[in-house]
Amino acid sequence: DIVLTQSPDSLGVSLGERATIKCKSSQSLLYNANTKNYLAWYQQKPGQPPKLLFYWASTRESGVPDRFSASGSGTDFTLTITNLQAEDVAVYYCKQYYDVPITFGPGTTVDI
């Protein structure tokens, strides 16, 4: 199975500041045939299902504010939240869909 690790486990950020979350994969998620990275990012708030933020590592899902950005390739990926808002308090997960089984990272908790 492909293992995803995330860092940090949790971080506290002041309103208006930047939060940076890392996701590292045990093997490359870059499929050379189409040059796509098979990685997605999700946000989960208490009592809610996860919400898709990005797919193909950096393609923003419709409706996601542009203060969220994502980057990376191969085995190393980053989710960045600039100008953090109170509603961004949540747990953030990366997920790989390069291979079966699909696997998720352990999550990073972002709070104020």
Partner 1 sequence: EVQLVQSAAVLKKPGESLKISCTVSGYRFANYWVGWVRQTPAKGLEWLAIIYPGDSDIKYHPSFQGRVTISADKSISTAYLEWSSLEASDTAMYYCARRGATNGVDRGGFDLWGPGTLVTVSS
Which of 14/34 has CB closer to partner 1? Answer: 34
Residue closer to partner 1 (CB basis): 55 or 77: 55
Q: H/E element holding 80?
A: strand 76-81
Place of tokens 């933020």: 53
Considering only the stretches 16-24, 55-63, 71-79, 80-88, report the one whose residues sit in contact with partner 1 under the rule CB under 8 A: 55-63
Reported as type and span, the H/E element at residue 55 is strand 51-55
Alpha helices in the chain (DSSP H): none
Does residue 111 touch partner 1 according to CB under 8 A? Answer: no
Query: What single letter denotes the amino acid at residue 8?
Result: P
- Site residues, partner 1 (CB under 8 A): 38, 40, 42, 49-52, 54-56, 59, 61, 93, 95, 97, 100-104, 106-107
